[in-house]
Amino acid sequence: MREIALVIILTAVLAGMLAWQYRLPPQQPAGSLDAVEMIAGDPEEFERVTGPVPVNLPADQAAHPEYQHEWWYFTGNLEDGEGRRFGFQFTLFRFALPEQSGTGKSAWESDQVWMAHLAVSDIENERFYTRERFARGALDMAGATEETWWLGPWAVQATDTGWHLVADAGDFELDLQINPLKPHVLQGEAGYSRKGPEPGNASRYLSFTRLDARGMVALDGEQFDVQGMAWLDREWGSSALGPDLAGWDWFSLQFDDERELMFFQLRDNDGRPDRYSAGVKVDFHGNATVLGARDVRLTPLEWWTDEQGVRWPVKWHLVVPEENLELDVRAVFDDQLWRGSFRYWEGAVEASGIQDGLRFEARGYLEMTGYHP
């Protein structure tokens, strides 16, 4: 998916925040290691994605430490028996650091940085709950195997039918059973998702586009029994956004006729769509068709301005000409902005449109990065 080349943004942020604890013994003073030294290194130190390779599940659900970064990414829309609606996000990120940055003198050392993001959108009250956690890849504090993905007490456990997600942030909490309703689909060329022209500027990328999610959401001590639809993106590689790219807009939509559509638009520094923008559409039976940059047109219609003066497009017109498909995608409420260690917009959306004269509805998620005042 998605978090297309987050390595530049996130690794730099994490390095600056956590230099003292990831590579240094606990007694060594903070700031002793320069953040640049932590993330600098020979690009050949990590494996690169250079072409299609068969995806092997469940083995590829485990971490790939030979690559520089990867993520496990759930999003979804839920509602309770009274029709009260919620969006949710749970993301686990892993980032590898250069081998030479370690001292080899402490059990706390690790060449792996882990971060988890948890969010719930309370649609009725237009309130956005978020929390982030960090851990070094040492002493079993975070990791990912075929069976379990975790950071501290936040964990996803494989079950006979899917996954069990448990994450408690204190003032809000998720406890969800998540089961696939369709097989996974491969993004790009058989899972080889290119992000630019340079060799290895790509990732391995697969998605579960329709997941049944049910369980419990808790907000400020009040519990809600919920059910709905979720999406899982799984991606790994060692690439980064090129210098001419500013960010991206990522859409995942689940239609009420049981089709799905994902598209990410890479934007250059002038705001123009990049030729490596791509996506996939999935039919009722789970058959996937890859979409290229020319197959989808995106036009922002409405903007929301945050407290820093950044304008975020919160309503879009999306057209797939060859499918006679056009729809408007709108945030369920404007302020679903992450204000943690870095800023990005990620939240629940709803859509309505028309195809071949027939109207339809959809729900999904939108992620946006690279917008500035």
Alpha-carbon distance values, 355 to 165, 259, 316, 322, 360 (Å)? 36, 13, 17, 11, 8
pLDDT at residue 121 is higher than 60: yes
- pTM here is 0.88
Which has the minimum average pLDDT: 36-45, 196-205, 210-219, 337-346? Answer: 36-45
**Domain spanning 7-39+61-368 has what CATH number?**
2.40.370.10
Collect contacts of 98-103 with beta carbons under 8 A, ≥24 apart: 98/38, 98/39, 98/40, 98/41, 98/42, 98/45, 99/41, 99/45, 100/41, 101/23, 101/33, 101/37, 101/38, 101/41, 102/23, 103/23, 103/24, 103/25
Which has the minimum average pLDDT: 71-80, 96-105, 292-301? Answer: 96-105
Confidence class of residue 218 from pLDDT cuts 50, 70 and 90?
very high
CA within 13 Å, CB half, 146:
6
- The count of other CB atoms within 10 Å of the CB of residue 146 is 13
**pLDDT (0 to 100) of residue 254:** 98
Residues constituting the chain = 373
Which has the minimum average pLDDT: 107-111, 172-176, 278-282, 360-364? Answer: 107-111
Question: Whole-number mean pLDDT of the chain?
Answer: 86
pLDDT: is 291 or 108 the higher one? 291
CB contact set of 236 (below 8 Å; sequence gap of 6+): 64, 67, 69, 70, 71, 203, 204
Question: What letter represents residue 344's amino acid?
Answer: Y
Q: What is the tens place of the pLDDT at every residue in 31-48?
A: 322 222 333 334 567 889
pLDDT: is 327 or 28 the higher one? 327
- In angstroms, how far is CA 280 from the centroid of its own chain? 16
Q: Residue 180: is the preceding peptide bond cis (ω within 30°)?
A: no
